[in-house]
Every structure is written in C-alpha cells, then in structure tokens.
Structure 1
Amino acid sequence: ASKHYQGKVSRQTRCVKLNYAGEFHIDIVPCIRSKFLFTETENVCNRLTNEFESCSSIEFSKWVRKKNAVAGNNNLIKAIRLCKYLRDFKQTFSVKSILLTTLLASRITLSEELFGTDSFKDLPMALKTLFNRLDEWLDEQDEMPIVNNPVDDDENFNRHWDEDKFQNFKKQVKKYNGWINTAYHEMDKEESIKGWRKVFGDKFAPEATAKAVEKQKSLPSHCERLRWPMANSPQKLNVKAVLQKDKSSVSIGDLAAYNTIPKHHWIRFNVKDTLDHQTSIFWQVVNTGSEAANDDCLRGKFFQGSTIHKESTLYRGTHWVEAVAVRQGVCIARSGPIVVKIA
C-alpha cells in the first residue's frame, strides 16, 4: 500500500523480500516469541502451509558469534560473505544462506573452542581452512545429509535442498577448493592474484594493486611452475643445507650462516622429514646470471631425486633450490626456495 515500496516488495514463504537497487535485498521475517514459565519459544509463519515453524534466531546468532570469536578478527563472518559472493557470482550451485552459514561455521571444532587455534589467523587462511574442511566433510557424505539448526533440533535447513542440488554442491566445492589451494600456495604474487581471480572473477584486486604487482619481479621464464596440485593442508618440508669444500668432504658450516658463497664449493641439501615409500622427492634448481646463461645452464625444471641432493657453486649470481614431496600425484609438502648467493 505504501508508494515508497511499490514494485520493490514480494511475499515469500516465510518473509517479505525488500529489493534494493543493485544486487541487494533484505528478507523481513515476522517472528512470534512465546514464554511459558522459564521456557521461551520462537516461531515463524509458513504462508503456504498456514502453520508455525520452530526457530531459534537469537540462539543461532549467538552460536555463530561464538564460532566467529574462535576464528578471531571477524574472519569467519568475512569468509562466509566471500562464499556467498562466490555462490552469487558463479551461480554454479544453489544453497540457502542459513544452510551455508551452518555448514561453514560447523567446521570450527569444539577442541578449537576450548583450546584456541591459529588456523584462521588471516582471511585467506580462514577461507582455505573452511573450504578444505568442508570438502573433506562432503567427501564423507554419499547422499544428502540432514543439517539441523545447531541450537534447535526441531528445525532443519534442508527445506530448499534436494539430492541433485546437494551432489552438485559437493562437486562444485571440490572444484573451488582446488582453485583456492592453488591460489593460496602460489609463491609468486602475480600468479597468486591470477589464481584468486579464477575463483572470484576479474574484479578481484583493485587496479592500483594490479599495477603494483606488475612492477614486481616475477619468476624467470625458465622457472617451471609447480606441476602438481597442492594438498588441502600441505606441510613444510624441512631441508638442511650445509657448505662443503668438495663434493665428498665434511661440512664447513650451515648455508644460512653465509651471506654469500664462494665459487668452486659444494652444497649438500638434506630432507630431514621421515617419508613413507609412497612419497617421492622432486628438486628444482634455478640459476640466474650471465655465467649460467652463457653456459646454457639456467635450469629450472623439476626432477626426481632422493632425500639428499648436492650442487656445486659454479656460477656467480643469486640462485635457489627447492624440494617438494609428492604422493599419488599431489604435492603434500614443499620447502620453499632456499636462496644461494654465489660471489
């Protein structure tokens, strides 16, 4: 009846939807609260069935705030917003916001509530952690599970879901989880931004940031990108590097103790972690500088080796070596570049 809202409102099953200009709307839900002795109940109205339905809006909000406090820095709420944006931007899966919120917030464990956690210390890590755990949980569900309100067992959030929507959601989460892991673990900043744009679209990272990234030195063209997908929770591969006078002589000191290394020495790299027989070690040696280039020895490709690898300090320049652990075609751990400066 109000001229202010003509053409902007519609009646839904349990709410009135108020549409704003642009991609935004608010659902206004009438809620009836009743109190009997020491018990308070909340019900919403189902227009189609003409019945009341139990809800616990205040308690549910408290539950989400508690999970958000465990994550810290409002990172759970921010990650949930990103997931809703992903849903609306990609439009490859359908899931109601309250169901998505419940699925994501439930990935924060009781142990983390009691003892704390550092798995959500920044927003990218929080998003990656939640998607990793959601993907693992979905893998355990052969068919659509019933997702109850965590504070009200009489209410479930499956009313807009069915088996086909669930199976599609499971498939899409696995795809986006792989993209998120790749973007998160990419060591080159420009390539990482490209990875996040694959997830969230070309609007990710403002133009000023993109220009700043373009000015940064990217990886040399002869440096092979990581060819294996990253595991959900890759580990740090511990590699000890020592300097030797000759290839077979004893150590004369840790590599980290030297700012620069003289030519005509050897460096011994040793993976210190215990690995099972299904895990293979690959090494990458990247040379730079005119001496290596003139000798056609810039290298940069990954090659399979053992837990011990030796390199000679033959060329002047700033070079680096990295070890990665691969199991069943997935990178489960990497050392990160070990920089070697040869004078």
Structure 2
Amino acid sequence: MKNLRVFKKFLTDTVNLNPTRLESLEKTSTSLSSFVENSDWEPSNLEWYPQGSWAHETIIKPLPNKGFDADVLAIVDPVDGWTASDYINNLYSAFRDSDIYRDKAHRYSHCVTLDYAAEKRIDIAPCIRNRWGFERLEVCNRDTDEFEESQPKYFTEWLKEKNTLSGNNSFRKVTRLVKYLRDIKTTFTCSSVCLTTLLAHQIQANDKGSADFADTPSALRTMFERLDTWLQIRPVKPQVSSPFSNEDFSVCWTDDQYSNFRDKVSKYRVWIDDAFQETDRNKSISKWRRVFGDDFGKNEGEQQAKSVTAKAVDHLRENVRAVPATELGFVGDVVDLVKQYGSRAIPSTLSNLPYLSQPTWRSVGNQLFSVHLIATLHRSRGGATVCTVSSGDVVPKKLELKFTARLATGMPLNTQDYRVEWRVTNTGEEALAKGQLRGSFIGSNSGGDRWESLEYRGVHFVEAFVIRKRDGIQVSRSDPFYVVIE
C-alpha cells in the first residue's frame, strides 16, 4: 500500500531539512561569500556556486546531535604560478587570519571547511575556470597537488532534468528518502554524490508521465528495483560517473563495501516491494517502518494506541450479540470493558498495529511445529509463582510475569537448537505518555523465558517467534498473549 499521506508527513517532519535551517544556511553562505570576496585571497572574479545536496535540493535533516553538510564552489580565475594546493592553503590562511572564522576553519584534500559545531558544516572548494585558456572547470586536490576536471553546472542541470522526467519532484524525494535510509540504518556505505548519481541513472526519457513514477512510493519502488537489477549484473565494483566528466564516484567504496552495498540494496528492494504490495493499511505502515524506522507513521501508531477502548466498544457492538448496545455507554476504558465482559472485549485486530516491528529474518512457508505461551505471575523476578495467568486475564500493576514458549505437547523448546525472539507491545495512554509502546523484538532473559514488569494500565500483548539457530530461519510463531493490567 502506498500510504501517500504518511509518506508526505514523514518527508515533511522527519526527512527534509526544515526551513529555519535552510534560512540559516543561506545567511551563513552569504556572509562567507562576502568575506572571501573582501579577503586577501588573491584569485579574482569570484562566483559563489552552491553544489552537492544543497544545489540538487536533496539535502536532508541530520540525525540528532549532528549537523548537516553543505557544499559551495568558489569559482575563480587562475593565478599565475599557483599550484592546486596553493588555492586551498591560501584560502585556509585567509580564514585563519580572521577572528570570526579562525576556530571554525579546517582544510582537507579538496576544500576548506567551516565547522559550526553541531549545527552545520560548509565545505568551500576552490574551482578554477579556463586554466591555460581551455574552457573548463577544475577543482583542486591538495593531497596530490593536482587539478581535476569537473562539470558541476552541467551535473546539476542533468539532475534537474531527471527530476522533471520523474514528475512530482519524485527524484528529489526518493533521493532524500534513500539518503535517510543510509543514515539511520548505517548498514552500507555510499557517498551522497555516488548515491544521487546511481539513482539519477535509473530515470529515462520515456518515464515522463509513467505510472511507475505516479507518486513518491511508486518512484521509490521503481528506482530501487532498477538499481538492484543494475547492481546484480555487476558483481565487481563498476565506475559511477556523471555524463559530463571522468570523475569516478565509486572511489567512495572498497571492493568489500561495494559488495555489501549491492547486497543491502537487494535486501531493501524486497522490503520495499513487500510494504508496497501489502493491502492491509496497518501492516503496510509496519512494513514501511521496517525500511525507514520508527518515525515513519509515528502519529498513526500513537493515535491507534490511544483508541483501543473505542475499538473494543465497536468490537463488542458488532460481534457480541448478547451485549445490548445500551450497556456500552459506560464511563471507563478498555480495562473496565474486559473486567465486565471478559476477554471477548479484546478485538482481534488489536494485534495489528502500525508500530509493530516486522521480522528481518527469513521464515519457512509453513510452521514446523506449533508453539504457545505459558505465563506465571510473580511478586518479584525469580520469586515464587503466585498463580498461572491465561491470555486476557486481568492482573495488577507492580508484579512480574514470566513467559515460556511451549510445544503443543506441553514440553519446553530445545534451547540448544532454537532461540526465541519476543515481540512485546503496549497500548494505552499510560504507556504512550512514558514512550513505552514498544512493539520491537527482544531476546529471552534466560533459558528461553521472558520476564516482563506490569507497569502500565491497558491491554498489551506478547508474541514468541522461534528461530532455528543453525540457519537463522523462523520455524514457528505463537498467537498473541494478551495481558490486561488494571
């Protein structure tokens, strides 16, 4: 399912660089341009030209406690007798001589960087126009003391053309999403320019107006599918270049890093297809969260976590004929409903929430064996058993539950051959207020058991996923075990 509204909100709230930061970047860039223009740096005819993600409009919001990067070319006429390293070293000296910029300035192979702590970093790369009378642009490599031909203006125009062909600003949106995926997963390495170039190459002239690019999730799916296909027929690291220069952006990878990137794109392509094709809205959001993390559809999950009582009332009205509708006008919450009507008040759809983490492991087509959960109540972890608890029973706060996965015969699992991943999910106002909706996977405490503290009023549930140790494949899964805390 596309979940267009959720994608739009996710891009606006989480992925895109917010307007205040863009305004700050513009102001800082203007100040830096003015400083360089009026400094003692000798080159003349300065053209201050944004490039990279800023110019391509694919810049994204940084992760917490990290700044964002922006790139600028300082395009100038050549200075007689200067080598490539002179342009960078002398620009660096100009900043170091300034009381304002002295502590912010750093120099690297191709640029001088102004570091504004956790806010932002601006890379200023000297770019020389028409050296020796040849019509061209060259950036400077301080490490090798060489000039390197570059065509940033043509490259930017090429990306704009690709964005136009994709329609609906889809190329830029997809590029931002994939960069965000890279940054939150940290499972693969790929420079922004290499990633942007790879994605741009997946858009062709006949894609304009195509259903494959009808909207953001469609474009994402199409571009990932094409990128995966392109990578799979290239087991050896290929050259990744713009159409306008011999720059090879694949230098960002070692051979092993390229192989890993290739594998991860293939993996995420499967996840994207799964989320796109899922027809159940909540399951689709959950599967998109497997791709993009917990901030995707976050508000959807919070709203549904708070609306459990309304779901339970609707469930009773529709499915429990013995309960007159007039009796459901009570004042209370889902816990009161369960206390009054028993576990039949728990809607079967409760275990289908959008904030549930999806398994990342493979599973067999049919379960190899059945597994169910046994729960016992304890006053403290490791303490004596107070009683056995059934799914849907009401239990008090401040106690502990121990869950054990059992076979249909009642025997425990063989923990030498199998491990259990537990998905523990909370609902309700109290858990939401404490940021404890959970829904992710967690391992056993010991011996295949799982202890859980009873803390938040509401209906919660626990599921067991049985993983075979020798190959990491899921071979069984329990039904949800509902825990009602009063």
User: TM-score surpassing 0.5?
Assistant: yes
Structure 1 equivalent of residue 287 of structure 2: 195
The correspondence for 1:42, drawn from 137, 151, 174, is 137
Show the 5 A alignment for 1:320-339. none
State TM-score, norm by structure 2. Answer: 0.41
Which residue pairs with 1:33 in the alignment?
Answer: 129
Shift of 1:99: 0.8
Q: Which residue does the alignment assign to 2:181?
A: 86
Answer whether contact 2:139 2:147 (CA < 8 A) is retained.
yes
Deviation at 1:220, TM superposition (A): 5.2
Matched, 1:210 2:265: no
**CA distance change for structure 1 residues 200 and 6 in 2, over 3 Å: closer, same or farther?**
farther
Partner secondary structure for residue 138 of structure 2: strand
- The amino acid across from 1:145 in the alignment is P
- Verify the 8 A CA contact 1:79 1:126 in the aligned structure 2: yes
> SS where residue 155 of structure 1 aligns?
coil
Q: CA deviation at 1:71?
A: 0.6
> Residue 6 of structure 1: CA displacement?
4.9
Take 2:289 and 2:119, find their aligned partners in 1: how far apart are those partners? 20
Residue identity matched to 2:172: I
Check the 8 A contact 2:189/2:261 in 1, yes or no.
yes
State how far apart, in whole Å, the 2-side matches of 1:199 and 1:92 are: 12
C-alpha displacement at 1:24, in angstroms? 4.5
* CA distance 1:26–1:176, shift in 2 (3 Å): farther
Cα deviation code 1:284-343 (max 9, x no counterpart)? xxxxxxxxxxxxxxxxxxxxxxxxxxxxxxxxxxxxxxxxxxxxxxxxxxxxxxxxxxxx
Which residue identity is paired with 1:142? P
Which residues of 2 match residues 1-343 of structure 1 at below 5 A?
A: 1=96, 2-22=98-118, 24-34=120-130, 40-112=135-207, 116-152=209-245, 154-207=246-299, 209-212=300-303
SS in 2 for 1:40: coil
Aligned residue number for residue 304 of structure 1: none
Counterpart residue type for residue 164 of structure 1: D
Instruction: Compare the two structures and name the one with the higher strand fraction.
Output: 1
2:72 alignment partner in structure 1: none
Residue 33 of structure 1: CA displacement? 1.6
In structure 2, what is the Cα distance between the partners aligned to 1:222 and 1:212? 15
Distance verdict in 2 for CA 1:107–1:197, change over 3 Å = same
Cross-structure match for 1:318: none
Counterpart residue type for residue 122 of structure 1 = D
- Which letter does structure 1 place at the counterpart of 2:235? D
Amino acid at match of 1:184: F
Given that 2:165 and 2:204 are in contact with CA atoms closer than 8 Å, whether structure 1 keeps it comes out as no
Q: Kindly, what percent of the aligned residue pairs are identical?
A: 42
Contact 1:190-1:213 within 8 A present in 2 as well: no
Q: 1:55 to 1:185 in 2, by over 3 A?
A: same
8 A Cα contact 1:146 1:158, kept in partner: yes
Q: Are the counterparts in 2 of residues 35 and 41 from structure 1 also a CA contact under 8 Å?
A: yes
Change (3 A) 1:222 1:7: closer
Shift of 1:158: 2.3
Q: Describe the shift of the 1:85–1:16 C-alpha distance in structure 2 as closer, same or farther (beyond 3 A).
A: farther
Secondary structure in 2 matching 1:166: helix
Structure 1 or 2: more helix by fraction: 2
> Partner amino acid for 1:33?
R
Deviation at 1:42, TM superposition (A): 0.8
Displacement, 1:17? 3.0
How far apart, in 1, do the equivalents of 2:287 and 2:121 lie?
30
Tell me the matched-pair count: 220
Query: TM-score with structure 1 length normalisation?
Result: 0.58
| Unmatched runs of 5 consecutive residues or more in structure 1 | 224-228, 230-343
Task: Output the CA distance in 1 between the equivalents of 2:284 and 2:159.
Answer: 30
* Equivalent in the alignment of 1:327: none
Is contact 1:70-1:117 (8 Å) kept? no
Structure 1 residue 204, shift from structure 2 partner = 1.7
Shift of 1:49: 0.3
Offset of residue 222 of structure 1: 11
In 1, Cα distance between equivalents of 2:116 and 2:351: 51
Matched-pair contact (CA < 8 Å) for 1:189–1:213: no
Q: 1:222 to 1:35 in 2, by over 3 A?
A: closer
